[in-house]
């Protein structure tokens, strides 16, 4: 079916659309919220139109994802095979022997728009590229810490005990694997003032403590031609361009094309 103004009014709530509605319509989030010209005339399936209406007025992302999962459950229960939007699965289930994760952050302005990127290598396959954690007013350090935390989450989901995480941020490494021990001993405080980004540092340190027997946290010099680091940097920049809060998978045909992205 083609979207017309009558249908648009059925999916709008207070003149706006939520995250998953925009994903179904393949429209990037914009703070301008002038979606009408992009939406009118779009072709969508009957099932996707049903989902758009079910998602109307649901602000919480987890609730949006649950509605989509429930809809697929109904289709499966009734043995209905249909091409319907699915929640994007960025969880990487890996059981190989060696896993390498490159993470990087970027910030336009410092402070300014910030985002994070990930490149995951396993077996001899092309790397999985992820981008997300967009912050409208962030710093480079926050972006680097967010990227490292995402890398730790991926490591936590992996079954392998041979994992290397690479970052070009000595600050991020020191925060969670060196300085955190003395800060924690002092009740998460330090002489001379506040610890910036403390909540993020605490949860990253706790996950590092859980995983440190199976991971190596390594520094890599930024912009030195290391492919994984360059790809993670491209993804961090893309997160800013796309204003992507949730992590999304970046689709590509070959690595060379990604490395040429400005």
Q: CATH: 3.40.1010.20, 3.30.420.10, 3.40.50.880, 3.50.50.60. Which one for 99-259? A: 3.30.420.10
E strands, 22-69, are none
27: helix, strand or coil? coil
The answer on pLDDT for 91 being more than 80 is no
Beta-carbon contacts of 135 under 8 Å, excluding residues fewer than 6 positions away, are: 113, 114, 115, 142, 143, 146
Residue 30 predicted with pLDDT over 60? no
Domain ranges of the chain: 5-77, 99-259
CB environment 127-152: b (16+ within 10 A), e (fewer): bbbbbbbbbeebbbbbbbbbbbbbbb
pLDDT at 37: 83
Tell me the pLDDT tens digit for each residue of 62-86: 899 899 989 988 988 888 877 677 7
Tell me the per-residue pLDDT of 208-259, one tens digit each, with 9 for 90 and over: 999 999 999 999 999 899 999 999 999 999 999 999 999 999 988 889 989 9
- Global pTM? 0.66
Cα dihedral 136, 197, 227, 26, rounded to 10, equals -30
Q: Nearest CA to 155 among 94, 204, 203, 202?
A: 94
Q: What's the chain's average pLDDT? A: 89
* pLDDT greater than 70 at residue 158: yes
């Amino acid at each position: 079916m083609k979207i017309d103004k009558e249908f648009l009014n059925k999916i709008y709530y207070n003149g706006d659309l939520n995250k998953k509605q925009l994903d179904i319509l393949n429209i990037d989030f914009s703070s301008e919220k002038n979606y009408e010209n992009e939406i009118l005339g779009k072709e969508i399936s009957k099932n996707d139109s049903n989902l758009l209406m079910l998602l109307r007025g649901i602000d919480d992302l987890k609730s949006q994802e649950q509605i989509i999962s429930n809809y697929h459950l109904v289709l499966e229960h009734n043995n209905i095979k249909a091409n319907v939007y699915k929640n994007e699965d960025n969880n990487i289930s890996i059981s190989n022997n060696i896993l390498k994760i490159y993470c990087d952050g970027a910030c336009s302005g410092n402070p300014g728009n910030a985002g994070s990127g990930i490149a995951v290598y396993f077996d001899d396959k092309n790397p999985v590229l992820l981008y997300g954690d967009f912050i409208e007013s962030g710093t480079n350090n926050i972006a680097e810490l967010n990227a490292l935390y995402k890398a730790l989450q991926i490591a936590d989901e992996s079954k392998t005990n041979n994992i290397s995480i690479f970052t070009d941020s000595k600050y991020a490494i020191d925060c969670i694997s060196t300085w955190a021990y003395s800060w924690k001993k002092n009740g998460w405080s330090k002489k001379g003032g506040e610890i910036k980004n403390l909540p993020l540092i605490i949860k990253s340190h706790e996950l590092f403590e859980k995983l440190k027997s199976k991971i190596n946290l390594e520094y890599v010099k930024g912009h030195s031609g290391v492919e994984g680091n360059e790809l993670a940097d491209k993804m961090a920049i893309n997160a800013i361009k796309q204003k992507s809060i949730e992590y999304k998978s970046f689709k590509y045909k070959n690595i060379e094309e990604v490395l040429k992205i400005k």
